[in-house]
Amino acid sequence: MKSLLLLLAALPAAALAQVQLNGAGATFPNIIYSDWMLTYNQAHPDVKLNYQSIGSGGGIRQFSDGTVDFGASDAPMTDSAIAAIGGNALHIPTVMGAVVIIYNLQGVSQAVKFTPDVLADIFLGKITKWNDARLASGNSGVTLPASDIVVVHRADGSGTSFAFTDYLAKVSPEWQQKVGKGTSVNWPVGLGGRGSEGVSATVSQTPGAIGYVELAYATTNKIQYGTLRNSSGNWITPSLAAVTAAAAGAMKDMGPNTDFRVSVTNSSGAQAYPISTFTWLLVHKSYSDTVKARALVQFIWWAESDGQAKAPQLGYAPLPRELHPWIEARLKSIKAAGRSVL
Amino acid sequence: MTSLPVERLARPQSLHATDRSDRIYRRVLTGFALGLPLLILIILGVLFTGALPALKRFGPTFLWTSTWDPVAEIYGAAPMIFGTLASSVLALLIAVPLALSVAIFLTEFSPGWLRQPVAFLVELLAAIPSVVYGTWGIFVLIPFLRAHVVPPLKAVLGWTPFLQGVFYGNSLLAGGVILAIMIVPYIAAVSREVLLAVPASQREAALAMGATRWEAVRSAVLPYGRAGLIGAVILGLGRALGETMAVTMLIGNRHDIGVSLLQPAYTMAAAIANEFSEATTNLYQSALFEVGLILFVLTVAVNAIARVLIWRVARGQAVGSRAL
């Protein structure tokens, strides 16, 4: 009787209680995040989600400043950035993307093949002609022109650049030592394009150009891209399945206690596409507002389970199923007012 | 005795000195008038505070070193300062003759029915968003430069240091040309107003002395309006220094100093626009603040020099000098 009364008292309050969750960050997952939030809100009208795609760096900053309830980033936070907010940050991978190599070669219809060292040396400015012997030896049967290679990279800070330079740093000691990895780096050669559209427009208008964009961007705009040799020695054409395979291949290096801030570039999976990357939601380990925290964690869990089905049709690679127990464990560790919220 | 009416005539507002609404009105206007200079000081203050970590870390070397490495956290702005000045100067070299020709033609030589349509179309150039200029630049201007401008230029002037290297498209040349097109309408519109304000008696006097139309323009009209014309050019320069979107799409965004127009470069405004939102570390953000501070100081300096130039040229009598 008493509990019934309590329930009756609680009902109208629950119906009125609107939870507003604000997030900001990476532009790459914006399409699927918006879709998830819209779909989730239809099933849960009391939870209003708002996401602003201001870029990964901005997302990390707003998340760290506490101006948003959750952040999103294509590049993980650094140790010092996490330490700066007292370690109160968790990285939850949501979907995956890949970086593909695009080029402008008139009369070459087959996909050009790049080995890791050739790709690194092109972006280091050491291979400067398309008919270079090392490039040609990987592309038997394809006549590459004698023209100059014009490198095009992102001029703005970008998670795409992070994944690409992270890969180059792994496969080339010289790149690691001279350039390193980051959302912006000191490019040894090349022209800078603003945004994916800037890079692809410059590549498309410059004979002999080579650049890199997101896989989803290349497929929606029907841009031809190259094939890469992965760490197992297989030639891999970029595809969503090959991207998911990269995460599956990287799982044994991660281990179940991972904080998910791992790079899955140059993954060891046999069918893994080498320049694959997670995109992460940034959440706090502990929240002060229980209602908000519970709504947020429930939304994320929905995105990780039911939401994944939507990924391929929107151009994103879903996470491997095997990863889900690990993510669930991490979501369960999120606390509000000292208690687990899930 | 007689001094009273004279004083009243000289200062008629003193009649209403005690009027309350007048005083309020004056205070509101004073507030607004002081607000704008105050805003500039606040902007300067914010830029300076933001730039402080970079100022402390790099000191004056920031101005003349050219490494821009966000990974190693080493920043030097020399390539951007150079690129900003070089692209703006190149734009002026192309735009000033073009815009002055348009203005002189429209005021002195054009048949009456052509004046309004041409002036309207030239001024319409100013209404095009800069991102449209950028896109047009990538898909039309660069292929045009590559096919029809650079080969003959290289054939004639290829021996100069300004045309060394291979032209890939995005370059100082492409950035400078797009800037020139963008500032032509400003320079042309102001120059036209200045030339229109030159009294007809100036032309008539020159023509009466037996000058041709061109000689009248050169010896009477242009010198009379020179202060206003300098003002028009400075207005264009100010636009060129700060223009961001179209330039970043065409200039190649490369932190490099080279005298060749065919090589990519970078400008301060473009770098801030490109890198600010993803500047994750404090020092990186601060370095961009310092770039902003340099751009601010540079723009103020250019305007100050222009003002001095106009004062010295004008000496109070030429057309347009009061307005500028």
Helices (H), chain B: 3-10, 20-58, 78-104, 112-124, 130-136, 142-144, 150-157, 172-196, 200-208, 213-216, 222-224, 226-242, 245-250, 268-275, 282-314
| A60 has a chain B CB within 8 A of its CB | yes
Q: What is the mean pLDDT of residues B55-72?
A: 93
Q: Residue B225 forms beta bridges with which residues? A: none
pLDDT at A260 over 60: yes
Q: Say what the pLDDT of residue A342 is.
A: 76
A78, A155, A186 member nearest B274 (Cβ): A155
Please say if the pLDDT value at position B43 is more than 80: yes
For a pLDDT cut of 70, what percent of chain B falls above it?
Answer: 91
Give me chain A's average pLDDT, please.
90
Confirm or reject contact between A56 and chain B (CB < 8 A).
Answer: yes
Q: Do A143 and A92 share a structural domain?
A: no
| Structural domains counted in chain A | 2
| pLDDT score of B98 | 95
The pLDDT of residue A251 is above 60: yes
Task: Decide if B253 and A179 are in contact by the 8 Å CB cutoff.
Answer: no
Q: What is the pLDDT of residue B324?
A: 44
pLDDT band at A14 (very low <50, low <70, confident <90, very high): very low
For the stretch B184-197, pLDDT in tens is 999 999 999 999 99
In this predicted structure, the answer to whether residue B1 has a pLDDT above a threshold of 80 is no
pLDDT above 50 (res A11): no
Domain identity same for A215 and A311: no
The pLDDT tens digits for A211-245 are: 999 998 998 888 889 999 999 999 999 999 999 99
Q: Among A1-5, A38-42, A203-207, B144-148, where is mean pLDDT lowest? A: A1-5
* Judgement on whether residues A125 and A245 belong to the same structural domain of the protein: yes
**Domain B78-314 top-level CATH class:** mainly alpha
Alpha helices in chain A (DSSP H): 2-16, 30-43, 56-65, 79-84, 116-123, 133-137, 159-171, 173-178, 195-205, 215-220, 240-254, 290-305, 324-332
Q: For A70-94, write each residue's pLDDT tens digit.
A: 999 999 998 888 999 999 999 999 9
Indicate whether A9 belongs to any domain. no
Kindly report the number of other CB atoms within 10 A of residue A275's CB atom.
31
pLDDT of A6 strictly over 70: no
| Cα B251 from Cα B176, distance rounded (Å) | 8
Same domain, A93 and A219: no
Which chain A residue has the Cα nearest residue B146?
A206
Residues A188 and A316 in one domain: no
Query: Is B170 in Cβ contact with A183 (below 8 Å)?
Result: no
How high is the pLDDT of residue B17?
Answer: 57
User: Are A115 and A195 contained in the same domain?
Assistant: yes
Q: What is the pLDDT of residues B305-319, one digit of tens each?
A: 888 888 887 665 544
pLDDT at B317: 52
Q: Could B280 and A55 be called an inter-chain contact, meaning their C-beta atoms sit closer than 8 Å? A: no
Q: Would the pLDDT of A165 be above 50?
A: yes
Nearest CA-CA distance, residue B84 and chain A, Å: 16
CATH number, domain of A121, equals 3.40.190.10
Is the confidence at residue A157, as pLDDT, over 60?
Answer: yes
CB of A249 less than 8 A from some CB of B? no
**pLDDT computed for residue B278 by the predictor:** 84
Chain A environment of B263 (Cβ under 8 Å): none
Q: Can you name the residues that pair with A92 across neighbouring β-strands?
A: A281
- pLDDT tens string B82-136: 999 999 999 999 999 999 999 999 998 889 899 999 999 998 998 999 999 999 9
Instruction: Mark whether A76 and A174 lie in a shared domain.
Output: no
Kindly determine whether residue B278 and residue A185, on different chains, have CB atoms separated by under 8 Å. no
Contacts of A236 (CB under 8 A, 6+ apart): A227, A228, A229, A230, A242, A271, A272, A273, A274
* Contact call for A191 and B139, based on CB within 8 A: no
Mean pLDDT of B140-154: 94
From the list B72, B249, B278, the residue facing A57 with the nearest CB is: B278
Q: Is residue A55 part of a domain?
A: yes
A161 in the same domain as A86: no
**pLDDT at B270 > cutoff 50:** yes
Contact check, Cβ <8 Å, A191/B138: no
Q: Is B147 on the interface with A (CB under 8 A)?
A: no
Residue of B80, B145, B173, B280 for testing the chain A interface, max A β-carbons within 10 Å: B280
Provide the pLDDT confidence category of residue B140 given band limits of 50, 70 and 90: very high
- Residue A57 belongs to what domain range? 18-97+253-261+276-340
Does A311 lie in the same domain as A291? yes
- The ipTM assigned to this model is 0.83
How confident is residue B10, by pLDDT bands cut at 50, 70 and 90? low
Per-window interface: B 223-262 vs A, CB < 8 A: 248-249, 252-255
Chain A residues whose beta carbon lies within 8 Å of the beta carbon of residue B138: 201-202, 205
Q: Are the Cβ atoms of A192 and B70 closer than 8 angstroms? A: no
- pLDDT at residue B314 in the model: 67
Distance from CA of B42 to the nearest CA of A (A): 24
What pLDDT, on a 0 to 100 scale, did the predictor assign at position B13? 55
Query: Chain A contacts of B169, Cβ < 8 Å?
Result: 191, 202, 205-206
Mean predicted confidence (pLDDT) in A24-41: 93
Cα nearest neighbour of A73 on chain B = B278
Question: What is the full DSSP assignment across A238-267?
Answer: --HHHHHHHHHHHHHHH-TT--S----TT-
**Residue in A148, A155, A182 closest to B253 by CB:** A155
- Nearest CB to B138 within list A158, A186, A202: A202
Contacts of B168 in chain A (CB under 8 A): 148, 150, 191, 206, 209
User: For testing the chain B interface, which of A176, A205, A210, A282 should be mutated: the one with the most B CBs within 10 Å?
Assistant: A205
Question: What is the token pair recorded at B29?
Answer: 């206007």
> What residues of chain B lie within 8 A of the CB of A158, using their CB?
278
- Residue B306: which residues within 8 A CB-CB, separation 6 or more? B230, B231, B234, B237
User: In A, which residues are within 8 Å of B141 by CB distance?
Assistant: none
The CB density around residue A11, as the number of other CB atoms within 10 Å, is 10
Q: Flag whether residue B76 sits within 8 Å of chain A, measured between CB atoms.
A: no
The confidence score (pLDDT) of residue A222 equals 86
What percentage of chain A carries pLDDT values higher than 90?
A: 71
In this predicted structure, the answer to whether residue A163 has a pLDDT above a threshold of 90 is yes
Q: Which residue of A has its CA nearest to B252?
A: A191
Instruction: Collect all residues of chain B within an 8 Å Cβ-Cβ radius of residue A192.
Output: 252-254, 264, 266, 274
Residue A51 has pLDDT above 50, yes or no: yes
- Each residue's pLDDT tens digit, A56-70: 888 998 999 999 999
pTM across the whole model: 0.86
Dist CA A111 CA A114 (whole Å): 10
CA distance A9 to chain B (A): 47
Asked whether residue A10 is domain-assigned, the answer is no
The model's confidence at residue B32, banded by pLDDT at 50, 70 and 90, is very high
Q: What letter does residue A129 receive in the DSSP assignment?
A: B
Report if residue A127 sits inside a domain. Answer: yes
Reported as a pLDDT band with limits 50, 70 and 90, residue B2 is: very low
Token duo for residue B299: 């723009």
- Average pLDDT along chain B: 88
Q: What tens digit of pLDDT does each residue of A123-132 get?
A: 999 999 999 9
Dist CA A29 CA A56 (whole Å): 10
Same domain? For A236 and A281 the reply is no
Whether residue A244 is found in the same domain as residue A137: yes
Cβ contact A150–B168 (<8 Å): yes
> Does residue B139 surpass a pLDDT of 90?
yes
Do A110 and A30 share a structural domain?
no
C-alpha span between A99 and A213 (Å, rounded): 6
Partner B contacted by A148 (CB < 8 A): yes
Give yes or no for a contact between B320 and B225, defined as CB atoms under 8 angstroms apart.
Answer: yes
Tell me the chain B residues in contact with residue A164 when contact means C-beta distances shorter than 8 Å. Answer: none
- Asked if A194's CB is within 8 angstroms of B142's CB, the reply is no
Q: Does residue A13 belong to any structural domain of this protein?
A: no
Contact by Cβ (8 Å): A236, A266: no
Minimal CA separation from B116 to chain A, in Å? 37
B70: nearest CB among A184, A192, A206: A184
**Residue A280: inside a domain, yes or no?**
yes
Separation between Cα atoms, residue B137 and residue B250, nearest integer Å = 7
Tell me the shortest Cα–Cα distance from B232 to chain A, in angstroms: 31
Cβ atoms of A51 and A279 closer than 8 Å:
no
Q: B271-304, pLDDT tens digit by residue?
A: 999 998 888 788 999 999 999 999 999 999 988 8
